[in-house]
C-alpha cells in the first residue's frame, strides 16, 4: 500500500498509539462477530480476531472480497498506480525465467489482490518475449473466495494459460518457475505481545455483553516462545506497562507451503520489513499494526472489523529465519527504490523528460508514478526479499538477480 498514507508512526520509529489508549476506546463488534465470542468465553487471542476480520469467507475484508485497492480505494499498491512497476519488475522476471530449466515454466502469484499486477506482467511478457511466454502458465493462489471471484473477472482473456490452485494441490505436483508474494505476508494474522510491567503476555481481544471490543492482557508467554524471541533483542528494561509489538507465527507455515509447491525456482517477497533493532526498538510502543480505509490509516485495530485492511510489518530477521528453516536459500534483499533503480528506473525518468514536449500531461503523470515507486518515505521503502529453491541439477546460490546489482555507470537502457 502507498506509504504516503501511513508515514506517521510507521517509517518513523515512534508509534502514535498506545495500548492504554486502545483500551479506553470501545468500538462495537458487528453482529456476525459478536456472535462468536460467547463460545470462546468472551475473549480470543489477537491472531484469531485478525483472522476473522480479514479472512472470514462471509464477512472478512479479504474473504468476502471487500478490499478496495487503488488511489480511490482503501489503499494504493505499486501496481495500482499504473503499469510502470510491472514493466520494471518484468525485466527481473525474464532474467530469472531464462535461468530456470523446464518446459513449461510457471509464474505463480500468492494473494494476487485484484489481479492488476498479473494482468500487467503477462501483457508485457507477450509483447517483449513471446518465445518465453509460449512456455509459461500462470498459477494464482488465493485462499479468499471473494477476492478470487474478482480476480477471475479482471483476468478474463489473459493472453497466457491461467488457473487458480492451492498450496496443497501444488504440493502433489510441484512446479518450476517464479513465485511472487507482493504485499501478502503483511496480512497474515499476527500474535501481539504486551509487557504488563513484570512479564510478557499475549494480547487478547474481549467482547462484552453490549458488543464492545477492547484489548486485554492475556496469559504470560511460555518459555519456548521467550527462547525463540530472545535473539531478536526484545527489550524489557524501562518499558511501561502496555508496550506492545507483534510476532508472526504464520510465516514458517507459509514458507513451508510455498516450498512444497516449487521444485525449482525463485520466490520474491515484496513487503514492508524492518530490522529487529528497529522493529523492537523501545520507542516503538505499539508495534507496526495499522488499519487502512478510504486512503486513511486507522491506529485502533478494533475499529470496523471486516470493513478495513489490517497489516503488520515483517521483521527482517524473523522472515529470513522462517524461510531458511523451511528449505529456502536466501539470495539477498534490497529496498524497492534500490531494486527499481537497478532495473532501469532512472533511464525511464530520463525518457519522460525527453518526451515531455510531445504529451506533457501524460509524461508528467508517468514521471510522478515512477517517483512514487522509489520515494524513500513511501513505496521505495518496501523490501524485496529473494529466495531460491534449486533442483539437484542446479546448485543453489548461482542465480543472477539484476535487482541486487548496482546499475553500471551511466545506466542501462530500459526495454
pLDDT tens string 49-89: 999 999 999 999 999 999 999 888 889 899 999 999 999 99
- Per-residue burial over 363-391, b if 16 or more Cβ lie within 10 Å, else e, is beebbebbebbbbeebbbbbbbbbbbbbe
Establish if 411 belongs to a structural domain.
no
Q: Are the C-beta atoms of 280 and 245 separated by less than 8 Å?
A: yes
Nearest to 315 by CA among 282, 283, 284, 278: 278
For residue 393, being part of any structural domain is answered with no
Q: What is the pLDDT of residues 310-363, one digit of tens each?
A: 999 999 999 999 999 999 999 999 999 999 999 999 998 887 765 555 677 777
CA distance 4 to 369: 13
Contact status, residue 255 vs residue 326, Cβ threshold 8 Å: yes
H helix intervals, 104-177: 116-128, 130-133, 145-154, 167-172
DSSP category for residue 69: B
Domain with 14 in it: 3-387
Question: Looking at residue 333, what is its pLDDT?
Answer: 97
The answer as to whether 404 is a domain residue is no
CATH code assigned at 19: 3.40.50.12710
Place of cell 535461468: 99
Mean pLDDT, the chain, rounded, equals 89
1 with 77: CB under 8 angstroms?
yes
In-domain check, residue 53: yes
* pLDDT tens digit sequence for 100-146: 988 899 999 999 999 999 999 999 999 999 999 999 999 999 999 99
pTM assigned to the model: 0.90
Q: Assess if residue 401 is contained within a domain.
A: no
In 3D, which of 380, 390, 384 has the Cα closest to residue 402?
A: 384
In a domain, 408, yes or no: no
Count of domains for the chain: 1
pLDDT of res. 357:
56
Instruction: For residue 360, tell me if it sits in a domain.
Output: yes
The answer to the question of residue 292 being in a domain is: yes
Amino acid at each position: 500500500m502507498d506509504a504516503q498514507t501511513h508515514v506517521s508512526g510507521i517509517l518513523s520509529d515512534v508509534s502514535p498509539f498506545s495500548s492504554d489508549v486502545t483500551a479506553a476506546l470501545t468500538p462495537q463488534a458487528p453482529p456476525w462477530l459478536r456472535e462468536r465470542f460467547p463460545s470462546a468465553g468472551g475473549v480470543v487471542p489477537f491472531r484469531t480476531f485478525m483472522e476473522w476480520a480479514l479472512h472470514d469467507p462471509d464477512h472478512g475484508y479479504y474473504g468476502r472480497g471487500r478490499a478496495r485497492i487503488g488511489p480511490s480505494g482503501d489503499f494504493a499498491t505499486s501496481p495500482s498506480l499504473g503499469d510502470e512497476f510491472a514493466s520494471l519488475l518484468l525485466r527481473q522476471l525474464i532474467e530469472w525465467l531464462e535461468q530456470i530449466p523446464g518446459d513449461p515454466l510457471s509464474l505463480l502469484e500468492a494473494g494476487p489482490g485484484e489481479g492488476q499486477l498479473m494482468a500487467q506482467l503477462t501483457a508485457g511478457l507477450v509483447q517483449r518475449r513471446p518465445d518465453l511466454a509460449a512456455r509459461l502458465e500462470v498459477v494464482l493462489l488465493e485462499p479468499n473466495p471473494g477476492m478470487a471471484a474478482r480476480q477471475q473477472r479482471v483476468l478474463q482473456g489473459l493472453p497466457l494459460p491461467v488457473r487458480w490452485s492451492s498450496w496443497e494441490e501444488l504440493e502433489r505436483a510441484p512446479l518450476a518457475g517464479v513465485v511472487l508474494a507482493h504485499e501478502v505476508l503483511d496480512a497474515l494474522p499476527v500474535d501481539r505481545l504486551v509487557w504488563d510491567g513484570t512479564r510478557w503476555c499475549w494480547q487478547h481481544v474481549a467482547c462484552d455483553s453490549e458488543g464492545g471490543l477492547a484489548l486485554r492482557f492475556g496469559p504470560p508467554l511460555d518459555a519456548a516462545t521467550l527462547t525463540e524471541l530472545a535473539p531478536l533483542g526484545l527489550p524489557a528494561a524501562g518499558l511501561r506497562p502496555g508496550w506492545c509489538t507483534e510476532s508472526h507465527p504464520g510465516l514458517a507455515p507459509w514458507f513451508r507451503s510455498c516450498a512444497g509447491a516449487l521444485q525449482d525456482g525463485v520466490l520474491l517477497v515484496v513487503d514492508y520489513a524492518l530490522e529487529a533493532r528497529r522493529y523492537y526498538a523501545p520507542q516503538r510502543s505499539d508495534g507496526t499494526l495499522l488499519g487502512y480505509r478510504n486512503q486513511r490509516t486507522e491506529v485502533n485495530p478494533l475499529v470496523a472489523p471486516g470493513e478495513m485492511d489490517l497489516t503488520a510489518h515483517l521483521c527482517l530477521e524473523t522472515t529470513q529465519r522462517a524461510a531458511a528453516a523451511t528449505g529456502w536459500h536466501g539470495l539477498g534483499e534490497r529496498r524497492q527504490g534500490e531494486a527499481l533503480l537497478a532495473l532501469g528506473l532512472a533511464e525511464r525518468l530520463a525518457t519522460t523528460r525527453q518526451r515531455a514536449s510531445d504529451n506533457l500531461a501524460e509524461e508528467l503523470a508517468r514521471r510522478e508514478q515512477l517517483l512514487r515507486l522509489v520515494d524513500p518515505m513511501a513505496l521505495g521503502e518496501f523490501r524485496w526479499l529473494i529466495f531460491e529453491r534449486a533442483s539437484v541439477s542446479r546448485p543453489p546460490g548461482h542465480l543472477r538477480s539484476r535487482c541486487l546489482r548496482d546499475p553500471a555507470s551511466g545506466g542501462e537502457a530500459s526495454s
